[in-house]
Structures are given as C-alpha cells and as structure tokens.
Structure 1
Amino acid sequence: MSYLVETEVGCPWCGEYFPTTVDTSQGDYNTIEDCNVCCRPISLTITCEPGELTDVQAERA
C-alpha cells in the first residue's frame, strides 16, 4: 500500500493550483508549505487515513 498521495492545492494568496504529495501514514496533521507559484507560506490541514486522502484545507500562514 502506498501512503504517499498526490493532490493539487489551491493557493489562498494567488489562487493558482499546484501539485503536492501528502504522506497519509501519519493520519491527520497540519503543515506549512510554500506555494510553488508565488512562494508565500500556506498552512495545510490534512485529513486522511492510511493510503487515503479525505480533505486538504489551505489557509494563509
């Protein structure tokens, strides 16, 4: 089973979407990632179960 899931995130700063990989092995978690387009920080709230991504919320960090 692969715990890495690829998804696209919409940047709350510039509105562009970019791909990212989520590690679902650790369950729900929060992380900060820079937008691949405008380089501003985004707070990601990941909701998942092992191998399955349920939801990704992106907010300005």
Structure 2
Amino acid sequence: MIETLVIECPYCGEAFTTVVDCSAGDQAYIEDCVVCCRPIECRLTVTADGPTLEVRRDDD
C-alpha cells in the first residue's frame, strides 16, 4: 500500500509531501529535505488505523 504524507522539515520548517510504502511494515530510513537538502530521520509505523511518520533531525 502506497501512501502520500505531508511532513515538516525539522531543520528549515518547510512542509513537503513524501511517498511511503506501507507494505513492508514499520521502517526507519533517512530522507533529504526537498528544500534545504538536510538529512531527516524518518520512522514509519504502520497500524490498522493507517501509517504514522515521525521525523527528527539526523544530528539529534
């Protein structure tokens, strides 16, 4: 299942859309901000209610 989510960059504060593949279950990965190009740590949790994407700075 592919979902489109809106996230906010923890560095520059800009919101942008990202696409996640929920078929693989819970995941952790790095995605670069499309505005400032800094690395964002993403943690995807997939439940029966739908996906949740938690983002944080890579340098925390």
Q: What is the RMSD of the two structures over their aligned residues, measured on CA atoms?
A: 1.3
Structure 2, unpaired ranges of 5+? none
Q: Distance in 1 between matches of 2:14 and 2:32?
A: 12
Provide the residue aligned with 1:60 in structure 2: 57
Spell out structure 1 runs of 4+ moving beyond 6 A: none
Instruction: Output one character per residue of 1:3-27: Cα deviation in whole Å (capped at 9) or x when no partner.
Output: 1100011100001101000000010
Q: Percent identity?
A: 42
> Post-superposition shift, 1:49?
4.1
Provide the residue aligned with 1:24 in structure 2: 22
The change in CA–CA distance for 1:57 and 1:9 in structure 2 (over 3 A counts) is same
The TM-score normalised by the length of structure 1 is: 0.86
The TM-score normalised by the length of structure 2 is: 0.88
Q: Distance in 2 between matches of 1:59 and 1:8?
A: 14
